[in-house]
Amino acid sequence: MSFIDSSATRDLLNPSSRRDDRITRLEAQVAFLADRLGVSPDELDRHGEKPMPEEVARLVAQGKKLPAIKAYRQATGASLRGAKRAVDGVG
């Protein structure tokens, strides 16, 4: 006879499994709410994005990618990787 049920044992032995289950439930809840509110997946993906600073857009249009990355970092405080991704997404 076991004093701990199998799901509790699983959670103790594999905390990432519990986290993955929670993430899956939260994603399903967000999808449900978005559907009920008529919000498209694209709108959800864009939520929270910072608008592209005009200076950065201008530098990208001129083909000056490295200065655009630097300007994006200065304007937003983004990491180098985040700034590169943002600048690569302009186009």
| 70 located within any domain | yes
Residues 18 and 41 in one domain: yes
For residue 1, tell me if it sits in a domain.
Answer: no
Segment 39-78, tens digit of pLDDT: 887 777 766 666 789 999 999 999 999 999 999 999 989 8
Question: pLDDT value at position 67?
Answer: 97
Q: What pLDDT, on a 0 to 100 scale, did the predictor assign at position 9? A: 63
Per the structure, the count of domains in the chain is: 2
Question: DSSP letter string over 23-70?
Answer: HHHHHHHHHHHHHHHT--HHHHHHTTPPPPPHHHHHHHHTT-HHHHHH
Round to the nearest angstrom and report the end-to-end CA distance of the chain.
64
**Can you give the residue range of the structural domain that contains 40?**
6-46
- The secondary structure of residue 5, as a DSSP letter, is -
Residues 21-41 have pLDDT tens digits of: 999 999 999 889 988 988 887
Residue 26 lies in a domain: yes
Q: Is residue 20 part of a domain?
A: yes
Residues 40 and 58 in one domain: no
DSSP label of 89: T
Same domain, 42 and 58: no
